[in-house]
Structure 1
């Protein structure tokens, strides 16, 4: 195999048993985030590789073996190894539940694979062998089943190999979430998400259904009209249920003009009513989309929480990632919101942005501390396939991306100094450093919708282009999704179809 100056580490995973294919792939990817990973299903498909895993099942045993080729002075050497996990049969389970059986076998396989990967790489992961996005949901489930905090923590450390620090974080958040949600009616309640898919510009790392406002501004009225139709029809579908929270996100909702915001919020109020809401959030989002007139328009409605999201307070990074606003605009937008009486303002930050080291993160945190928001959400950069940073990765391959436990500890320390504690967390694929996103908030300032969407306790009905509704039913045991099309033109022209999709799903599952 020829080696050039730049060689992308190549990993093959040969699946001769595919029962837990996704879980095996995700765990290997977590240890080798920069590698080129190929999945194979036939020995004949094999090509050149640096490391190959072979996944198979032999009678009552799962077996994962590896073959690693190393380029040394004298040529290639090969190192081999194997991990195995016993298959748990129904006779070994006290509860004859196929879902429980599958979970036990999956956990056993991931435990064995994790130990193998630790030996291979010489390192551990902060979240152990957990590859899902909701660690706090796991902790909450244990506590709700009757476990004490200490018992849940032990299970996370010993069964899932989570670090003591992350275990403590998950258990702490699970308990705060339970307290915040104690008055929410899971069985009869639901939440509403409304998406505005336009942004002043598209950020380098963004993979959401967002479109440049300049291209679409002549059709925003049409979009709002279609959205208002979906709002009215959805309100009719959800009659008899309790609306707990509303979250208007995007994109950037404040790309809409003041009269469009009023039309949207008037329609919402007329269709659903604003009485009895536990929370009503609007992401003001990009500082360059915020004006006094827009904030005044929003203040005419019972909105309880907004976001002003800088992502970073380093101008050179803002320019690099395509934010196209200034640090000063962030400050101005924040102070304007305070002047107009907003008393629950969130700010989103991203750590691991290209070129940012811990000193730059510290500079951002110092400036956020001066502004004193009511909550702060710290995201670890996750570069998804749809992001320009990934699509054009050859152009950006020389950028440095730094995230580590020291940076995460610094964000937590700053949050505590501002009187905030952690209240929700979630993880994403391809996160730099294999860390997490954490929401911090002062007392009574936590984002209730954020917890509900992560913990999957009740239906979330999503309206607008790219909206993905989660229908939670059967006492939280089942979830079905209903998708809206992402393309704005298709959403506008096919709005009746989007409404019918919801009608069919609600009638069937709720």
Structure 2
């Protein structure tokens, strides 16, 4: 256990995130002093009143107060990382990075005119990121730049949330409700959602929509009539003639029917997800998925027959009970299906998930240690398999409490990269979000300012307070017309 003491600075939250990375590898109790003084950052690791490891680094001068504070925080975190590395001998794959958007750092440094060689040196010497992760980060940043460079002035993207699922998976922490328990709320939810969508369409009229993404939950947990009702409403109120990308995260195969796929095709949905998470039946049963591997294959086949030519498939590495050979089997099965996108997620033990509840604190540490090496092998295998299918990494994000401190990566065939995924990660244009728990992000001044407008998470509150949700948006939109 580490007892942290911050002296002359308020970077406690960020430093605790660094400490959290090393917790599974630390035995015993230590004092950690993090000190800012005279443009120096110092970290001292103390055991029984003796300093056992110490690191001191100068802080670069800056021409603005904001940059000076960033530099100070950077070096305070770096010195703490160094002493904890000396204690444990454990190098983190992403070094001291704990944020969810690693490529944002690449874009920020490039805007400052820093070239790739200098960037690579900084990521190695200051951030302590492993070489393979630096390579991945820079490759993804270049792919993102291809997409972001085509953003137009006043352009927006739209997100629409459907917070229903047939069952709740063991690892899930999203805003999602059991369809069985909440089936009587679906129609009233759609009433409220369509009302909010109509307001957004009117308030943002004239602005080009680059991408529209319907996610969840599981959007195809709606029945055929409900899905058609929603898509008809979207088509009637939004100007979609010039839209570049229209996605429905169809998700779970047990919710997808031929008729739903026909409706999506008829309504010009150009990209869908069919997400197996694993192609191993024992795993699907263990995580609460009520479908078979054969159903995944059958739904994919029907989608192809109906002309769906841009299909994403999600998998998760580190699912309970899975070994490297299980992931290898999943990848072999996906290779036979030949989707245009594969998104590789690393398991995260999320605070609101059932898995988190099932793991006591001590068990969680042991579980993370046991999984870390397996996850690394699974990630390497996944990258090799995706590249062999002609899929290249184009977007990436990280989460807290990810097993092994790794990452999630989206792979796509050239020309099939998901625009919405890149926009939501890099926060380069406003994304207007509708639905329970949805968060609108208004982007101003080329990303220098982001205002968030949040909807309530509770399904019942969203339905009864829809006018309040609309008023929140009205005020947020008026703020910076």
Whether the TM-score (by the shorter chain) exceeds 0.5 is yes
Is the aligned partner of 1:55 residue 2:40? Answer: no
2:300 corresponding residue in structure 1: 334
1:295 to 253, 258, 261: 261
Q: Deviations over 1:29-80 (max 9, x none)?
A: 11225889xxxxxxxxxxxx723323344454444332347xxxxxxx9773
Contact 1:152–1:171 (8 Å) recurs in 2: no
TM-fit CA distance, 1:84: 3.5
Is the aligned partner of 1:385 residue 2:385? Answer: no
Contact 1:258–1:294 (8 Å) recurs in 2: yes
1:411 corresponding residue in structure 2: 382
Contact 1:274–1:302 (8 Å) recurs in 2: no
1:24 to 7, 15, 18: 15
2:131 corresponding residue in structure 1: 164
Normalising by the residue count of structure 1, what TM-score does the alignment of the two structures yield?
0.89
Q: Secondary structure at the match of 1:32?
A: helix
Instruction: Report how many aligned residue pairs link the two structures.
Output: 476
Is the aligned partner of 1:101 residue 2:86? Answer: no
Counterpart CA distance in 2 for 1:428 and 1:494 is 31
Counterpart CA distance in 1 for 2:26 and 2:318 is 18
TM-fit CA distance, 1:305: 0.4
Question: What RMSD in Å do the two structures reach over aligned CA positions?
Answer: 2.1
Normalising by the residue count of structure 2, what TM-score does the alignment of the two structures yield?
0.94
The equivalences for 1:394-405 within 5 A come to 394=360, 401-402=371-372, 403-405=374-376
TM-fit CA distance, 1:446: 0.7
Q: Secondary structure at the match of 1:404?
A: helix
Residue range with higher mean Cα deviation, 249-258 or 265-274: 265-274
Is the aligned partner of 1:111 residue 2:78? Answer: yes
Structure 1 residues 292 and 68, CA, compared in 2 at 3 Å: closer, same or farther? farther
Counterpart CA distance in 2 for 1:268 and 1:486 is 22
Counterpart CA distance in 1 for 2:2 and 2:307 is 55
Structure 1 residues 142 and 78, CA, compared in 2 at 3 Å: closer, same or farther? closer
TM-fit CA distance, 1:353: 1.2
2:236 corresponding residue in structure 1: 270
Q: Deviations over 1:142-192 (max 9, x none)?
A: 33443333333233223322111111111111111111233221x411111
Q: Secondary structure at the match of 2:264?
A: helix
Q: Structure 2 regions of 5+ residues with no counterpart?
A: none
1:43 corresponding residue in structure 2: none
Q: Structure 1 regions of 5+ residues with no counterpart?
A: 1-9, 37-48, 70-76
1:83 corresponding residue in structure 2: 55
Q: Deviations over 1:99-157 (max 9, x none)?
A: 21111111111221111111011011111111111111211233344333333323322
Contact 2:315–2:344 (8 Å) recurs in 1: yes
1:66 to 41, 45, 61: 45
Residue range with higher mean Cα deviation, 226-235 or 387-396: 387-396
Contact 2:44–2:83 (8 Å) recurs in 1: no
1:142 to 76, 90, 109: 109
Normalized per residue, the structure richer in helix is: 2
TM-fit CA distance, 1:409: 1.2
Counterpart CA distance in 2 for 1:269 and 1:150 is 48
Q: Secondary structure at the match of 1:184?
A: coil
1:257 corresponding residue in structure 2: 223
